[in-house]
């Protein structure tokens, strides 16, 4: 039975790298894949999944209106696997579409994304993936203290913690620091 996987982590943990490795692994065995990433995340070239380590691959850009199942099933040949980056930006309906691809069409889906936002709250896509995925896999990274970095602190240009604002704010290592819960809480409290 095909499964829906949610690979979750804090920022800068290696999610995109992991996705691109999985994609390469399928393709080097002659299997077709279909890649999606969020249109809203325009840090790198649009329609491209880019990892900080330097790997990149073209992907279809999704927004909240994209029907990922319809696009997948409209391909000339069905892919052996669907890989989704920035899965925190999916809607709950889109996660349901991904689950249907696995359950009804036998296509494994690997979704990669953040678990929580800069306030420590679940994103919609992540909440639905945590609820539905057959397999939850944490990709681990370290806080500056050596503990596991599970949280994402948003910072301003001066490096001060930001605790209010819209959930979506695109940025990289200049705007976010992955921290353990203790250091996230301490830095957020000092804002
Ligand atoms: N030149 C490099 N060599 C090895 N690892 C690197 C290099 N540059 C960045 N990294 C590591 O890559 C990881 C970030 O990968 P990335 O896939 O972009 O993360 P994410 O998608 O989770 O934000 C970090 O752990 C970082 O330390
Ligand atoms: C914590 C948090 C993150 N984001 C944005 C910032 C980035 O553009 C992406 C995550 O990038 P990754 O390196 O691929 O993990 O999400 C956001 O909009 N709001 C947040 O609270
Ligand atoms: Zn810490």
Ligand 1 centroid–CA 23 distance in Å is 17
Residue 151 lies in a domain: no
Residue 140 vs residues 40, 55, 74, 104: alpha-carbon distances, Å: 25, 19, 35, 32
CA-proximal residue: ligand 1, atom 6 (nearest):
53
ipTM comes to 0.97
Three-state secondary structure call for residue 41? coil
Ligand 1 site, residue 9, Cβ cutoff 6 A:
yes
| DSSP element (H, E) containing 157 | none
Reading the chain (191 residues) residue by residue, the pLDDT tens digits are 899 999 999 999 999 999 999 999 999 999 999 999 999 988 877 789 999 999 999 999 999 999 999 999 999 999 999 999 999 999 999 999 999 999 999 999 999 999 999 999 999 999 999 999 999 999 999 999 999 999 999 999 999 999 999 999 999 999 999 999 999 999 999 88
Q: Domain for residue 188, yes or no?
A: no
Residue 161 placed within a domain: no
Full residue range of the structural domain in which residue 71 is found: 4-140
Which CATH number does the domain housing residue 69 bear? Answer: 3.40.50.300
**Cα distance between residue 37 and residue 123, in whole Å:** 16
Total number of domains constituting the chain: 1
Question: Is 186 considered catalytic here?
Answer: no
Q: Which ligand is nearest to the CA of 181?
A: 3
The residues with which 135 forms a beta bridge, in sequence order, are 5
Does some domain include residue 57? yes
Q: Which atom of ligand 2 is nearest to the CA of 170?
A: 8
**17 pocket-lining for ligand 1 (C-beta < 6 Å):** yes
CA-nearest of 66, 93, 90, 71 to 82 is: 71
Residue at 60 is within a domain? yes
> Does 79 reside within a domain?
yes
CB burial of 131-170 (b: ≥16 within 10 Å; e: otherwise) equals ebbeeeeeeebebeeeebbbbbbbbeeeeebbeeeeeeee
Has residue 185 been placed in a domain? Answer: no
Is 0.95 surpassed by the pTM of this model? Answer: yes
């Amino acid at each position: 039975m095909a499964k829906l996987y949610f690979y979750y982590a804090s920022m800068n943990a290696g999610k995109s790298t992991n996705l691109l490795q999985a994609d390469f692994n399928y393709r080097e065995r002659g299997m077709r894949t279909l890649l999606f990433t969020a249109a809203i995340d325009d840090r790198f070239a649009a329609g491209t999944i880019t990892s900080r380590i330097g790997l990149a691959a073209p992907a279809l850009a999704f927004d909240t209106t994209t029907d990922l199942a319809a696009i997948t099933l409209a391909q000339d040949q069905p892919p052996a696997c669907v890989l989704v980056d920035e899965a925190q930006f999916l809607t709950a309906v889109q996660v349901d579409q991904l689950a249907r691809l696995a359950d009804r069409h036998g296509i494994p889906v690997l979704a990669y994304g953040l678990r929580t936002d800069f306030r420590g709250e679940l994103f919609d896509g992540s909440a639905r993936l945590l609820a539905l995925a057959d397999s939850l896999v944490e990709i681990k990274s370290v806080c500056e203290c050596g503990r596991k970095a599970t949280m994402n602190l948003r910072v301003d240009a001066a490096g001060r913690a930001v605790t209010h604002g819209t959930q979506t704010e695109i940025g990289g290592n200049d705007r976010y620091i992955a921290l353990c819960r203790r250091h996230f809480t301490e830095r957020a409290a000092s804002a």
